[in-house]
Amino acid sequence: SPIQPPDLTQCQKADVPGGSSPKCCLPSDPVKATDFQIDASLPMRVRMASHLLDAAYITKYNRAYELMRALPDDDPRSFSQQASVHCAFCQSAYLQKNSNEKLQIHFSWLFYPWHRWYLYFHERILAKMLNDDTFALPFWNWDNQAIFSPLPNVIPAVFIENPALVDNTRAPSHQPPTLVDLTYSGKPGGLDPEQQRAENNNLMHQELVSGAKTPSLFFGQAYRAGDANAPGPGSVERAPHTAVHLWTGGDMGNFGTAGRDPIFYSHHANVDRLWNVWKSLGGRRKDITDPDWLNAEFVFYDENATLIKVKVGDAVSTEKLRYTYQNVPNPWITHIS
Ligand code: C2O
Per-residue pLDDT reduced to its tens digit, 31-75: 789 999 988 899 999 999 999 999 999 999 999 999 999 999 999
Reported confidence tier of residue 23, pLDDT bands at 50, 70, 90: low
CA dihedral 19, 264, 166, 54 (to 10 degrees): 180
The answer to whether the CB of 176 falls within 8 A of the CB of 215 is no
Does ligand 1 have an atom closer than 6 angstroms to the CB of 311? no
Q: Count the alpha carbons within 13 Å of 279 in the hemisphere toward its beta carbon.
A: 13
pLDDT at 12: 79
Reported confidence tier of residue 337, pLDDT bands at 50, 70, 90: low
pLDDT at 49: 98
Reported confidence tier of residue 19, pLDDT bands at 50, 70, 90: very low
pLDDT at 92: 78
Q: Count the alpha carbons within 13 Å of 233 in the hemisphere toward its beta carbon.
A: 15
| Separation of CA 204 and ligand 1 centre (Å) | 18
pLDDT at 32: 87
* 335 carries an active-site annotation: no
What Cα–Cα distance (Å) separates residue 126 from each residue in 8, 60, 153, 165, 322? 24, 10, 25, 13, 15
Q: What mean pLDDT is reported for the chain? A: 94
Instruction: Point out the catalytic residue in the list 111, 218, 255, 298.
Output: 255
Instruction: Point out the catalytic residue in the list 51, 79, 89, 106.
Output: 106
Q: Residues 135-153: what's their mean pLDDT?
A: 97
pLDDT digits (tens, 9 = 90+) for 263-296: 999 999 999 999 999 999 999 999 999 999 999 9
Instruction: Point out the catalytic residue in the list 122, 205, 245, 267.
Output: 245
* 241 carries an active-site annotation: yes
pLDDT at 10: 87
Does ligand 1 have an atom closer than 6 angstroms to the CB of 116? no
| Separation of CA 268 and ligand 1 centre (Å) | 7
- Where helices occur in the chain by DSSP H, the ranges are 55-70, 79-90, 111-130, 158-161, 193-205, 215-219, 235-236, 242-248, 263-279, 291-294
Helix 111-130 vs helix 55-70: crossing angle, to nearest 10: 90
Q: What are phi and psi of 251, to 5 degrees?
A: -55, -40
* 245 carries an active-site annotation: yes
Domains in the chain, please, with CATH? 34-333 (1.10.1280.10)
Q: Which atom of ligand 1 is nearest to the CA of 114?
A: 1
Does ligand 1 have an atom closer than 6 angstroms to the CB of 90? yes
pLDDT at 68: 98
* 86 carries an active-site annotation: yes
pLDDT at 24: 81
pLDDT digits (tens, 9 = 90+) for 192-239: 999 999 999 999 999 999 999 999 999 999 999 999 999 999 999 999
CA triplet 95, 97, 98: central angle to 5 degrees? 105
What Cα–Cα distance (Å) separates residue 39 from each residue in 12, 124, 243, 322? 34, 11, 35, 8
pLDDT at 322: 97
Residue type, 108: S
Instruction: Point out the catalytic residue in the list 86, 174, 205, 335.
Output: 86
Does ligand 1 have an atom closer than 6 angstroms to the CB of 128? no
pLDDT digits (tens, 9 = 90+) for 94-125: 999 989 999 999 999 999 999 999 999 999 99
Q: Is the peptide bond before 150 cis (omega within 30 degrees of 0)?
A: yes
Does ligand 1 have an atom closer than 6 angstroms to the CB of 86? yes
Name which residue sits closest to atom 3 of ligand 1, judged by CA. 255
Q: How far apart (Å, rounded) are the C-alpha atoms in residues 141 and 131?
A: 27
* 51 carries an active-site annotation: no
Could you tell me what percent of the chain has a pLDDT over 70? Answer: 96
Q: How far apart (Å, rounded) are the C-alpha atoms in residues 64 and 138?
A: 12
The answer to whether the CB of 5 falls within 8 A of the CB of 228 is no
| Separation of CA 113 and ligand 1 centre (Å) | 12
The answer to whether the CB of 243 falls within 8 A of the CB of 181 is yes
Q: How far apart (Å, rounded) are the C-alpha atoms in residues 163 and 146?
A: 27
| Element of type H or E holding 301 | strand 297-301
Q: Which atom of ligand 1 is nearest to the CA of 271?
A: 2
Q: How far apart (Å, rounded) are the C-alpha atoms in residues 141 and 156?
A: 9
pTM of full prediction above 0.90: yes
pLDDT at 171: 97
Instruction: Point out the catalytic residue in the list 122, 267, 268, 335.
Output: 268
